[in-house]
Amino acid sequence: MSVSAYGTLYLLPVGLGECNLEDILPKRNLELIKTLTYFIAENAKEARAFLKQCVYPEISRAQFSLINQHVKTEELQSFLTPLLEGHHIGLMSDAGCPGIADPGAEIIKLAHKKGIRVVPLVGPSSIVLSIMASGFNGQNFAFNGYLPIEKTERTRRIKELELLCVKFKQAQFFIETPYRNANVFEDLLKTLQPTTQLLVATNITLSDECIQVKPISAWKKNSAPEFFKKPTVFGIYL
Protein backbone atom coordinates (compact mmCIF):
# COMPACT_ATOMS: atom_id res chain seq x y z
CA MET A 1 0.00 0.00 0.00
CA SER A 2 1.21 3.50 -0.70
CA VAL A 3 1.87 5.82 2.20
CA SER A 4 -0.96 8.28 1.80
CA ALA A 5 1.13 11.34 2.69
CA TYR A 6 3.25 10.77 -0.40
CA GLY A 7 2.43 12.18 -3.82
CA THR A 8 1.54 9.96 -6.80
CA LEU A 9 3.81 9.16 -9.73
CA TYR A 10 1.65 9.53 -12.84
CA LEU A 11 2.91 7.87 -16.04
CA LEU A 12 1.94 10.28 -18.81
CA PRO A 13 1.88 8.99 -22.40
CA VAL A 14 2.88 11.50 -25.08
CA GLY A 15 1.96 11.64 -28.79
CA LEU A 16 3.95 9.69 -31.39
CA GLY A 17 4.44 12.68 -33.69
CA GLU A 18 2.45 15.64 -34.94
CA CYS A 19 -1.20 15.03 -34.17
CA ASN A 20 -4.22 16.37 -32.37
CA LEU A 21 -3.86 15.36 -28.71
CA GLU A 22 -7.63 14.78 -28.38
CA ASP A 23 -7.26 11.99 -30.94
CA ILE A 24 -4.85 10.00 -28.81
CA LEU A 25 -5.23 11.02 -25.15
CA PRO A 26 -8.28 10.83 -22.87
CA LYS A 27 -9.61 14.12 -21.49
CA ARG A 28 -8.53 12.98 -18.02
CA ASN A 29 -4.85 13.10 -19.02
CA LEU A 30 -5.15 16.62 -20.47
CA GLU A 31 -6.85 17.88 -17.30
CA LEU A 32 -4.53 16.11 -14.89
CA ILE A 33 -1.38 17.40 -16.59
CA LYS A 34 -2.49 20.99 -15.96
CA THR A 35 -2.60 20.35 -12.21
CA LEU A 36 1.00 19.09 -11.99
CA THR A 37 4.08 21.19 -11.24
CA TYR A 38 6.78 18.52 -11.19
CA PHE A 39 7.75 16.48 -14.23
CA ILE A 40 10.39 13.90 -15.05
CA ALA A 41 11.20 13.90 -18.76
CA GLU A 42 13.88 12.93 -21.28
CA ASN A 43 14.23 16.32 -22.90
CA ALA A 44 13.10 19.66 -21.43
CA LYS A 45 12.44 21.27 -24.82
CA GLU A 46 10.17 18.47 -26.02
CA ALA A 47 8.47 18.21 -22.63
CA ARG A 48 7.69 21.96 -22.69
CA ALA A 49 6.34 21.68 -26.24
CA PHE A 50 4.02 18.87 -25.08
CA LEU A 51 2.78 20.90 -22.10
CA LYS A 52 2.15 23.82 -24.44
CA GLN A 53 0.08 21.55 -26.68
CA CYS A 54 -1.88 20.50 -23.56
CA VAL A 55 -2.63 24.23 -22.92
CA TYR A 56 -0.67 24.03 -19.67
CA PRO A 57 -1.44 27.30 -17.87
CA GLU A 58 2.02 28.66 -16.99
CA ILE A 59 4.98 26.81 -18.42
CA SER A 60 7.54 28.79 -16.40
CA ARG A 61 5.93 27.20 -13.29
CA ALA A 62 6.69 23.62 -14.48
CA GLN A 63 9.80 22.02 -12.96
CA PHE A 64 11.66 19.33 -14.88
CA SER A 65 14.08 16.61 -13.79
CA LEU A 66 15.77 15.07 -16.80
CA ILE A 67 16.49 11.36 -17.20
CA ASN A 68 19.06 10.09 -19.68
CA GLN A 69 21.65 7.34 -19.82
CA HIS A 70 24.19 9.41 -17.86
CA VAL A 71 22.06 10.04 -14.77
CA LYS A 72 23.33 8.07 -11.78
CA THR A 73 21.07 6.16 -9.36
CA GLU A 74 21.67 8.66 -6.52
CA GLU A 75 20.51 11.49 -8.76
CA LEU A 76 17.41 9.48 -9.78
CA GLN A 77 16.66 9.06 -6.07
CA SER A 78 16.64 12.83 -5.65
CA PHE A 79 14.09 13.15 -8.49
CA LEU A 80 11.58 11.51 -6.14
CA THR A 81 11.94 14.18 -3.41
CA PRO A 82 8.76 16.08 -4.40
CA LEU A 83 6.79 12.81 -4.07
CA LEU A 84 8.11 12.26 -0.53
CA GLU A 85 7.02 15.84 0.27
CA GLY A 86 3.47 15.10 -0.90
CA HIS A 87 3.61 16.52 -4.45
CA HIS A 88 2.56 14.54 -7.50
CA ILE A 89 4.99 14.01 -10.40
CA GLY A 90 4.28 13.35 -14.07
CA LEU A 91 6.76 11.00 -15.75
CA MET A 92 6.80 11.34 -19.53
CA SER A 93 8.95 10.10 -22.36
CA ASP A 94 9.66 11.85 -25.66
CA ALA A 95 7.03 9.76 -27.45
CA GLY A 96 4.65 6.98 -26.49
CA CYS A 97 4.19 5.37 -23.08
CA PRO A 98 6.77 5.71 -20.28
CA GLY A 99 8.17 2.32 -19.31
CA ILE A 100 7.51 0.66 -22.69
CA ALA A 101 10.60 0.69 -24.92
CA ASP A 102 11.46 3.92 -23.16
CA PRO A 103 13.43 5.22 -20.18
CA GLY A 104 11.53 5.64 -16.95
CA ALA A 105 11.60 2.08 -15.62
CA GLU A 106 14.35 2.98 -13.11
CA ILE A 107 12.27 5.80 -11.63
CA ILE A 108 9.19 3.56 -11.42
CA LYS A 109 11.25 0.86 -9.70
CA LEU A 110 12.52 3.34 -7.08
CA ALA A 111 8.97 4.60 -6.51
CA HIS A 112 7.66 1.07 -5.83
CA LYS A 113 10.56 0.51 -3.43
CA LYS A 114 9.49 3.53 -1.38
CA GLY A 115 5.79 2.54 -1.45
CA ILE A 116 4.87 5.50 -3.67
CA ARG A 117 1.65 5.06 -5.66
CA VAL A 118 2.29 4.62 -9.41
CA VAL A 119 -0.65 5.38 -11.73
CA PRO A 120 -0.28 4.63 -15.47
CA LEU A 121 -2.52 6.71 -17.75
CA VAL A 122 -3.97 5.49 -21.04
CA GLY A 123 -2.22 6.65 -24.20
CA PRO A 124 -0.61 5.68 -27.49
CA SER A 125 2.19 3.13 -27.72
CA SER A 126 3.27 2.21 -31.24
CA ILE A 127 4.22 -1.24 -29.95
CA VAL A 128 0.90 -1.96 -28.28
CA LEU A 129 -1.15 -0.61 -31.19
CA SER A 130 0.94 -2.77 -33.55
CA ILE A 131 0.35 -5.87 -31.42
CA MET A 132 -3.42 -5.13 -31.47
CA ALA A 133 -3.45 -4.58 -35.23
CA SER A 134 -1.28 -7.58 -36.09
CA GLY A 135 -4.00 -10.21 -35.62
CA PHE A 136 -1.19 -12.51 -34.42
CA ASN A 137 -1.46 -14.11 -30.97
CA GLY A 138 -2.87 -11.74 -28.34
CA GLN A 139 -2.58 -14.46 -25.68
CA ASN A 140 1.15 -14.92 -26.16
CA PHE A 141 3.53 -12.28 -27.46
CA ALA A 142 6.93 -10.82 -26.71
CA PHE A 143 8.47 -7.44 -27.37
CA ASN A 144 12.22 -7.72 -27.91
CA GLY A 145 13.36 -4.10 -28.27
CA TYR A 146 16.03 -3.43 -30.92
CA LEU A 147 17.68 -6.04 -33.13
CA PRO A 148 21.51 -6.24 -33.13
CA ILE A 149 23.16 -3.70 -35.45
CA GLU A 150 25.80 -6.05 -36.85
CA LYS A 151 24.50 -8.00 -39.90
CA THR A 152 25.58 -11.57 -39.01
CA GLU A 153 24.42 -11.11 -35.45
CA ARG A 154 21.11 -9.63 -36.68
CA THR A 155 20.45 -12.56 -39.04
CA ARG A 156 21.16 -14.98 -36.21
CA ARG A 157 18.71 -13.09 -33.97
CA ILE A 158 15.97 -13.08 -36.66
CA LYS A 159 16.30 -16.86 -36.98
CA GLU A 160 16.14 -17.19 -33.20
CA LEU A 161 12.94 -15.10 -33.02
CA GLU A 162 11.32 -17.20 -35.76
CA LEU A 163 12.19 -20.34 -33.77
CA LEU A 164 10.55 -18.83 -30.67
CA CYS A 165 7.36 -18.29 -32.75
CA VAL A 166 7.39 -21.99 -33.66
CA LYS A 167 8.46 -23.39 -30.28
CA PHE A 168 6.21 -21.29 -28.00
CA LYS A 169 3.50 -20.17 -30.47
CA GLN A 170 4.57 -16.70 -29.35
CA ALA A 171 4.32 -13.69 -31.68
CA GLN A 172 7.58 -11.70 -31.72
CA PHE A 173 7.76 -7.91 -32.05
CA PHE A 174 10.80 -5.64 -32.36
CA ILE A 175 11.83 -2.17 -33.50
CA GLU A 176 14.72 -0.58 -35.33
CA THR A 177 16.26 2.89 -35.54
CA PRO A 178 14.19 4.37 -38.40
CA TYR A 179 17.09 4.95 -40.83
CA ARG A 180 17.94 1.24 -40.64
CA ASN A 181 14.39 0.02 -41.49
CA ALA A 182 15.32 -0.96 -45.07
CA ASN A 183 18.33 -3.04 -43.93
CA VAL A 184 16.27 -4.91 -41.37
CA PHE A 185 13.43 -5.47 -43.85
CA GLU A 186 15.90 -6.89 -46.38
CA ASP A 187 17.36 -9.25 -43.76
CA LEU A 188 13.87 -10.37 -42.71
CA LEU A 189 12.96 -11.24 -46.31
CA LYS A 190 16.23 -13.14 -46.80
CA THR A 191 16.14 -15.02 -43.48
CA LEU A 192 12.52 -15.91 -42.68
CA GLN A 193 10.52 -18.84 -44.08
CA PRO A 194 8.20 -17.98 -47.02
CA THR A 195 5.08 -18.76 -44.97
CA THR A 196 6.05 -16.67 -41.93
CA GLN A 197 3.76 -13.67 -41.49
CA LEU A 198 5.51 -10.30 -41.25
CA LEU A 199 3.88 -7.17 -39.79
CA VAL A 200 5.29 -3.79 -40.79
CA ALA A 201 3.58 -0.93 -38.91
CA THR A 202 4.76 2.59 -39.75
CA ASN A 203 3.93 6.00 -38.26
CA ILE A 204 1.20 4.61 -36.02
CA THR A 205 -1.51 7.21 -35.12
CA LEU A 206 -0.10 9.73 -37.64
CA SER A 207 -1.83 10.81 -40.84
CA ASP A 208 0.24 8.43 -43.00
CA GLU A 209 -0.11 5.44 -40.65
CA CYS A 210 0.41 2.21 -42.57
CA ILE A 211 -0.03 -1.27 -41.09
CA GLN A 212 0.52 -4.29 -43.31
CA VAL A 213 0.66 -8.02 -42.60
CA LYS A 214 1.75 -10.45 -45.33
CA PRO A 215 3.61 -13.73 -45.58
CA ILE A 216 7.28 -13.34 -46.56
CA SER A 217 6.49 -14.88 -49.99
CA ALA A 218 4.01 -12.05 -50.68
CA TRP A 219 6.33 -9.30 -49.35
CA LYS A 220 8.98 -10.57 -51.82
CA LYS A 221 6.60 -9.93 -54.73
CA ASN A 222 5.59 -6.46 -53.54
CA SER A 223 7.59 -3.27 -53.20
CA ALA A 224 8.99 -2.45 -49.75
CA PRO A 225 6.84 -0.29 -47.46
CA GLU A 226 7.44 3.47 -47.45
CA PHE A 227 9.22 3.49 -44.12
CA PHE A 228 12.35 5.52 -44.82
CA LYS A 229 13.24 7.30 -41.56
CA LYS A 230 9.72 6.61 -40.23
CA PRO A 231 9.29 4.94 -36.81
CA THR A 232 8.30 1.34 -37.55
CA VAL A 233 7.34 -1.70 -35.52
CA PHE A 234 8.05 -5.15 -36.96
CA GLY A 235 6.36 -8.38 -35.91
CA ILE A 236 6.53 -12.01 -36.98
CA TYR A 237 4.28 -15.02 -36.45
CA LEU A 238 3.43 -18.25 -38.24
Identity of the residue numbered 118: V
Q: 10-40: buried (b, 16+ CB within 10 Å) or exposed (e) per residue?
A: bbbbbbbbebebeebbeeebeebbeebebbb
Residue 136 in contact with its own copies, rule: CB under 8 A = yes
C-beta of residue 124 within 8 angstroms of C-beta of residue 97: yes
CB of 60 to its own copies, least distance (A): 28
Which of 53, 71, 120, 191 touches its own copies by CB under 8 A?
120
Closer CB to its own copies, 124 or 231, in the complex: 124
> Mapping DSSP to helix (H, G, I), strand (E, B) and coil, where does residue 105 land?
helix
Q: Using DSSP, state whether 64 is helix, strand or coil.
A: strand
Q: Determine if 98 is a binding residue for its own copies (CB under 8 A).
A: yes
- Contacting range for its own copies; rule: CB under 8 A; set: 38-46, 50-58, 64-72, 142-150: 142-150
- Considering beta carbons, is residue 51 or 161 the nearer one to its own copies? 161
Q: Is 170 in the site for its own copies (CB under 8 A)?
A: yes
Nearest Cα neighbor of 113 from 86, 73, 70, 143 is 73
Q: Given the rule CB under 8 A, which of 34-42, 69-77, 80-88, 132-140 is the region that contacts its own copies?
A: 132-140
Nearest to 168 by CA among 213, 196, 137, 129: 137
Query: Which residues here bind its own copies, judged by CB under 8 A?
Result: 1, 11, 20, 22-28, 97-102, 104-112, 117-120, 122-125, 128-146, 170, 204-205, 209-214
